Amino acid sequence: MKNRSVIKFILLLFIVILISYTAVFGLDIGAYEFMPIRDELDLGLDLAGGVYVVLEAKTDVTGEELDKKMQETKAIIEQRVNGLGVSEPNITLEDKDRIRIELAGLNDPQSAIDMIGKTAQLEFIDPDGNVVLTGENVKNSEVQYSNNELVVSLEFDSEGAKKFEQKTEELFPKTKDEDKIIYIVLDGETISYPVVNAIIRDGKSIIEGNFTVDEASNLANLIRAGALPMELEELEISVIGPTLGIESLDRSIKAALIGLVLIFIFMILLYRIPGIAADIALTIYILIVLGVMIYLNAKLTLPGIAGLILSIGMAVDANVVIFERIKEELKLGKSIRVAANSGFKRALTTIIDANVTTFIAGLVLFFFGTGSIKGFAVTLLIGLVVSFITAVFITRFILKLLIDMQLTKNKKFFGV
């Protein structure tokens, strides 16, 4: 058992060191190239640079009508922002009449600001590129059910109805589908291209397309909001240069590394062999958290780094609780293996209580917070889940390997 545990521990240590090296420096193995985690992480506005804008609606409309117009405005702004090629823009509604827009990684923030506030152009174009009618001719657009399928209904004004009837009358007899398409274009981007399947004489039409609820609602909002439905006033605007963001990231990484080194040293000095297990588990914890963030495309922000460091503290705290329980068991005269098993069992309730209460606080911040607060909550929640797993399972597994290696039976090397 001793030799088998030694082999397992050496193999685990080798894997952790290899993955840690790859995470920091990257690795190129023939046809396979692994990028450093820093290059894979999606950075938020405060780290990548970009523009942050808060817009307020100038309108007397209230209640459900205001909510409807704000959704329309958000949809049209999202459409424009997507045209800028921004990765994962953050556009949210605040305080019923405000829109927060965060666009990270922009080279020309001013062009984005100009784009957000301009009047949108909605056009219906035939296969030859001729404009049939514009958004000014659309009276309404909403989601409906037709033959148990979601469709987007359109209603035109009298002028639009006449033009649409003439165009559908012209296109309907054609035999090829590509010759019967009417392109719906918003700000130069085609958002839908329905085929004419009938002559529309009453100014009402539907767009079919096997839509999901979200897709149909979004399309209806975009068509209905051919122009911004209300005047928007800039309440707050901030442009962050990429140089400042990189400097903040470098300082944050340096501070985190210094803190981690001090934690590693502290755990070994205080708990000896269990401290070694905790340090390896903590390294695994950090790798898992960063890997999960990359997988989920979660943006890393300065508050997010703070949340990550706080969750590291929670992971260390869990190990401290476990090791203190083990010390108490050892002082009662139990063997090292029995004391370790009892210590983990006794510490479990305390660890669960601490993580659950913090997790609830993180959920509240995520659902009710905005911007940087939500970024903090995301990394905190991810970190809490992973820290619980590493403290309860991975630390226990590593410590069991170290005990089975029979390095020493002196209880002083286990913190007593």
Q: What is the mean pLDDT of each successive set of 10 residues along the chain, which is 416 residues long?
A: 83 91 84 82 76 84 86 77 62 84 70 60 84 83 84 86 90 89 81 85 81 78 65 78 70 84 90 91 91 83 82 85 90 88 89 89 84 79 89 89 84 79
Residue 279's pLDDT is: 92
- Class (C level, CATH) for 122-224: alpha beta
Q: Compute CA distances 366 → 101, 164, 371, 375, 379, whole Å.
A: 17, 46, 10, 8, 10
Q: Residue 26's pLDDT is what?
A: 86
1: exposed, middle or buried (C-beta count within 10 Å: 0-12, 13-18, 19+)? exposed
pLDDT value of position 371: 64
What whole-number distance in Å separates Cα of residue 70 and Cα of residue 221?
Answer: 10
Pairwise CA distance, residues 186 & 83, whole Å: 10
The correct CATH number of 50-119+231-240 out of 3.30.465.10, 3.40.50.10800, 3.20.20.100, 3.30.70.3400 is 3.30.70.3400
- Domains of the chain by residue range: 2-42+241-414, 50-119+231-240, 122-224
The CATH homologous superfamily to which domain 2-42+241-414 belongs is Multidrug efflux transporter AcrB transmembrane domain (1.20.1640.10)
pLDDT of residue 134: 82
Answer yes or no: are the C-beta atoms of 83 and 188 closer than 8 Å.
yes
